[in-house]
Amino acid sequence: MGFENPSCQLLSKIATNEQHGENSPYFDGWKAYDNDPYHPTQNPNGVIQMGLAENPLSFDLVEEWIRKHPSASICTSEGVQKFRDIAIFQDYHGLTEFRNAVARFMGKVRGGRVTFDPARIVMAGGATGACELITCCLADPGDAFLVPTPYYPGFDRDLKWRTGVQLIPVICESSNNFKITKEALEEAFENAKKSSIKVKGVIIANPSNPLGTTVERETQITLVNFINEKQIHLVCDEIYSATIFSRPNFISIAEIIEEVECNRDLIHIIYSLSKDMGFPGFRVGIVYSYNDAVVDCGRKMSSFGLVSSQTQHFLASMLSDDEFIDHFLKTSSMRLAKRHQTFTSGLEEVGIKCLNSNAGLFCWMDLRPLLKEPTFEAEMVLWRLIVHKVKLNVSPGFSFHCVEPGWFRVCFANMDDETLEIALKRITIFIQATEKNQM
Amino acid sequence: MKLLSRKATCNSHGQDSSYFLGWQEYEKNPYDEVRNPTGIIQMGLAESQLSFDLLESWLAENPDASGFTRNGESIFRELALFQDYHGLPAFKKALAEFMEEIRGNKVTFDPRNLVLTAGATSANETLAFCLAEPGEAFLLPTPYYPGFDRDLKWRTGVEIVPIQCTSSNGFRITESALEDAYQLARKQNLRVKGVLVTNPSNPLGTAVSRPELNLLLSFISAKNIHLISDEIYSGTVFSSPSFVSVMEVLLERNLANTQVWNRVHLVYSLSKDLGLPGFRVGAIYSNNNTVVAAATKMSSFGLVSSQTQYLLSAMLADKKFTKHYIFENQVRLQKRHAMLVRGLKNAGISCLDSNAGLFCWVDMRHLLTSKSFDAEMELWKKIVYQVGLNISPGSSCHCAEPGWFRVCFANMSEETLDLAMQRIKDFVVSTATKSSNTGRSHHLSSKYSARKSLSKWVFRLSFHHDSENER
């Protein structure tokens, strides 16, 4: 047997398997949108995109800031004297002013209740890169992380694809509003143990995607006690931390560990500016770890996804403008609240309930009453109906690994007011037609 | 239970190598003309600071690219939200055309086959993930860029097996060296998935020759493996022979759309040719649609900032600018290269004949106390700590022969380069003086005149020594 390679093995398993997750039905909705995108005048019957968790509601504030601060750009006449220093800067520690500004911003988002050490800020290629990076630092191929369901579909790719790490679900149910319970955590841990899988940690999103809820203090304390007892890691993805628009307030894991005794080497935060500021295009991912070795290793790994120095410089300037940031956070929160209110009350008018939520860019919509039967097949049928007939790209609960069929994530921030109205109208018409058919 | 992963606690990131240690020493004591004139001069950083003025004047003439505007209208929203891993179409088109221009338009690149990544660092890692399983191997000609140990091996679990090149033939890749490497991999039970070459070479500074490229294509064809050509320095070729891309040779041999065609992949970046390492602009180019598809999905882990894509799409689309930049930059590189070569020669030190890159491959074998890597380290430490120059020892580049060093010439001012040359000369002189004055203490009271008269004598000595080695 020679070592020559048969052409079917020319590429790696990673390159040719389905683990990137992009062939999941979740993406069919996107394809439907791409093929037939809604436009108020050019394509008024097209599919409205409600599957994209984006936050452009407060861009006008940012645009105004940019106009007033030309020196934030290294290309304008006001800023070009910095061009060469910035253009050549590839130090994986990141620009000092950038790290300082991000640490400061993170503190602000938490109401100044905790402060962040700029020296613990590690850059990554968006939260996508940050998730993969922290996984590489904490787990070996074959190891596992526990993750509460429902969870962001991207985790399957970010945490597992190239790392070889597994995800074990911690089942959460609607009976208690999908809260994470100690029992569910223990069960997931035991299941892993039975299968001889080494659990290296728990990963949660707070606020949750897709639930749109902040994780309560008690739950976080339960989590900290759980991981501390097992001496496993806790990774908190706080990417939606500044999208809180109503009570209860956001409580960060950074605050919890000030109250609760635990081994801080186990605590890590993932962050990004993609949701809070609405800048997914700038690829600003952050890993914040309380573990020195993780910071050290993570920093070396960040070489694979550093933030463009042009962007670092721009954001250092913007994020350290206290007056602007205070105004931005307040305004953004208000506008999200309004959107959420408009959308949920519109849904309520036709009898559709959403999980009570106080954060995020989406609602977790309960369409169980519309299912022909409580199965995922029925959920898929309903979903296809919504995408192709109602022409709304919403995301089915199945794609978030929800254990109960009938839940859908619907984004409300990524379109203008008029489009949201039209979406609500379409839903209304659909519900009314469904009711009529059932009579 | 171990708290962190094996990746976190092993050494595969390679940062304990001397290549990076020299950087650390520099950081502790960096040269500054005014504030720290006796500090260490950084000559271990392959960056070019020679042509920023050209970029700056372009910016002054093109205000739109700078501030999120297109024809005066704000496109901030569009850019802030743009995270499509297919990349900004205008940028990929401009980048593809820029790459064509560097190759004298002898090849064409389809933007759809271009994958954008966060620097060449990410491009190389991504290709390793796409082409090899953990435990499989790539063959790399030595000496090679130290960062490959991290980029190709660290998180991927892929191995590197060296293709040993030696000074006996100017470090050219030979058929026997390729075959030896392949067999060495076999002996180690490593399945070889491909060969990776850097063209032009880092650290040699030479454009890979046409015969070598032909050899490589024949080799990968016979073994049914991949070829990655990292062409990150393609725009830095400043004298003949001109740059030949492997893509060009594929066309010459009528290999378009063959199986081999599908196994050749390029890596590119704007870090060296445009001097923009901070912007993290890398790219993979492949004719293989499966590789393009897989790499595109993987690029999610390191996309290029949309803001940066937009700026560069405007800059690279300005053909008048790019033509002028490429040409002028090469002129300046040639001048700097000549300066370094001359300065070293003046100290009795020769370099490998080179025509590209931002560095020279310097022959200091005659300054070693013995023909060993220990002696190389000893010499290196002297040069870093006593002479005050951070240069990169050949061992950090996995060179098979001790005594070679990579010395960068484009990342400092002319004055600083001058000073560096003076320091080298002083060092060589004082070394020769010490070795020729055994037992006798020698006070160089009138340093300059004493050195001047000694230097001729020393030069003759070291020249004589050189010719002995060339036998």
What residues of A act catalytically?
152, 237, 239, 275
pLDDT confidence of residue B458 = 36
CB of A183 within 8 Å of a chain B CB? The answer is no
B215-220 mean pLDDT:
98
- CATH topology (fold) of B66-317: Aspartate Aminotransferase; domain 2 (3.40.640)
pLDDT confidence of residue A110 = 97
Residues 15-34 of B with CB under 8 A from A: 15
A423-430 mean pLDDT:
96
> Does the structural domain A72-323 have CATH classification 3.40.640.10?
yes
Burial of A327 (0-12, 13-18, 19+ CB in 10 A): middle
- For residue A87, give the nearest of B125, B278, B297 by CB distance: B278
- Chain A hits for B269, Cβ within 8 Å: none
- For residue B305, give the nearest of A88, A283, A301 by CB distance: A283
CB of A197 within 8 Å of a chain B CB? The answer is no
pLDDT confidence of residue B16 = 66
Residues 214-273 of A with CB under 8 A from B: 231, 233, 265-266
- Average pLDDT score, chain B: 90
Answer yes or no: is pLDDT of B123 > 50.
yes
> Which site among B58, B156, B305 would you substitute to test the A interface, given the most A Cβ atoms closer than 10 Å to its Cβ?
B305
- Chain A hits for B3, Cβ within 8 Å: 138, 231, 233, 265-266, 291, 293
pLDDT tens track for A62-119: 999 999 999 999 988 899 999 999 999 999 999 999 999 999 999 999 999 999 999 9
Closest residue in A to B222 (Cα) is: A4
pLDDT confidence of residue B437 = 64
pLDDT tens track for A283-315: 999 999 999 999 999 999 999 999 999 999 999
Residues 129-158 of A with CB under 8 A from B: 129, 132, 136-141, 143, 157-158
Query: Under CATH, to which class is B4-50+321-430 assigned?
Result: alpha beta
- For residue A281, give the nearest of B59, B66, B82 by CB distance: B82
pLDDT band at B438 (very low <50, low <70, confident <90, very high): low
B171-175 mean pLDDT:
98
B73-102 mean pLDDT:
95
| Nearest residue to B7 (alpha-carbon basis) of A168, A227, A196, A301 | A301
pLDDT confidence of residue A9 = 65
Alpha helices (H) along A216-308: 217-230, 253-259, 292-301
B77-89 mean pLDDT:
95
Q: Three-class SS of residue A225?
A: helix
A45-71 mean pLDDT:
94
> Which site among A5, A7, A145, A265 would you substitute to test the B interface, given the most B Cβ atoms closer than 10 Å to its Cβ?
A5
B76–A88 C-beta distance less than 8 A: no
pLDDT tens track for B27-44: 999 999 999 999 999 999
Answer yes or no: is pLDDT of A4 > 70.
no
pLDDT tens track for B354-381: 999 999 999 999 999 999 999 999 999 9
Residues 311-370 of A with CB under 8 A from B: 311, 314
Q: Minimal Cα–Cα distance from A192 to chain B, Å? A: 15
Report the share of chain B in percent with pLDDT over 90. Answer: 83
pLDDT tens track for A224-254: 999 999 999 999 999 999 999 999 999 999 9
Amino acid identity, residue A102? V
CB of B1 within 8 Å of a chain A CB? The answer is yes
Q: Worst-scoring range by mean pLDDT, A300-304, B68-72, B207-211?
A: B68-72
B57-69 mean pLDDT:
83
pLDDT confidence of residue A439 = 57
Q: Minimal Cα–Cα distance from A173 to chain B, Å? A: 31
pLDDT confidence of residue B22 = 85
pLDDT tens track for A323-361: 999 999 999 999 999 999 999 999 999 999 999 999 999
Dist CA B350 CA B372 (whole Å):
19
- Chain B hits for A416, Cβ within 8 Å: none
A304–B301 C-beta distance less than 8 A: yes
Q: Give the number of beta-carbon pairs within 8 Å between A and B.
A: 247
Answer yes or no: is pLDDT of B259 > 50.
yes
CB of B81 within 8 Å of a chain A CB? The answer is yes
pLDDT confidence of residue B24 = 87
What residues of B act catalytically?
145, 230, 232, 272
B305–A303 C-beta distance less than 8 A: no
CATH assignment of A13-60+325-432, among 3.20.20.140, 2.60.120.10, 3.30.930.10, 3.90.1150.10: 3.90.1150.10
Q: B324 phi and psi, to 5 degrees?
A: -65, -45
Delimit the domains of chain A by residue range: 13-60+325-432, 72-323
Residues 102-121 of A with CB under 8 A from B: none
Residues 287-346 of B with CB under 8 A from A: 290-291, 294-295, 297-298, 300-308, 311
B19-30 mean pLDDT:
86
Q: Three-class SS of residue A42?
A: coil
pLDDT confidence of residue A154 = 94
| Nearest residue to B201 (alpha-carbon basis) of B357, B404, B45, B337 | B357
- Chain A hits for B134, Cβ within 8 Å: 141
B47–A283 C-beta distance less than 8 A: no
pLDDT band at A127 (very low <50, low <70, confident <90, very high): very high
- Chain B hits for A22, Cβ within 8 Å: 297
- For residue A129, give the nearest of B74, B131, B301 by CB distance: B301
Q: Minimal Cα–Cα distance from A404 to chain B, Å? A: 30
pLDDT tens track for A149-172: 999 999 999 999 999 999 999 999
Considering chain B, tell me which residue range(s) the CATH 3.90.1150.10 domain(s) occupy: 4-50+321-430
Q: Three-class SS of residue A268?
A: strand
pLDDT confidence of residue B73 = 84
Answer yes or no: is pLDDT of B143 > 60.
yes
pLDDT band at B446 (very low <50, low <70, confident <90, very high): very low
- Chain B hits for A318, Cβ within 8 Å: none
Answer yes or no: is pLDDT of B443 > 60.
no
CB of B55 within 8 Å of a chain A CB? The answer is yes
Q: Minimal Cα–Cα distance from B446 to chain A, Å? A: 41
| Nearest residue to A277 (alpha-carbon basis) of B13, B77, B423 | B77
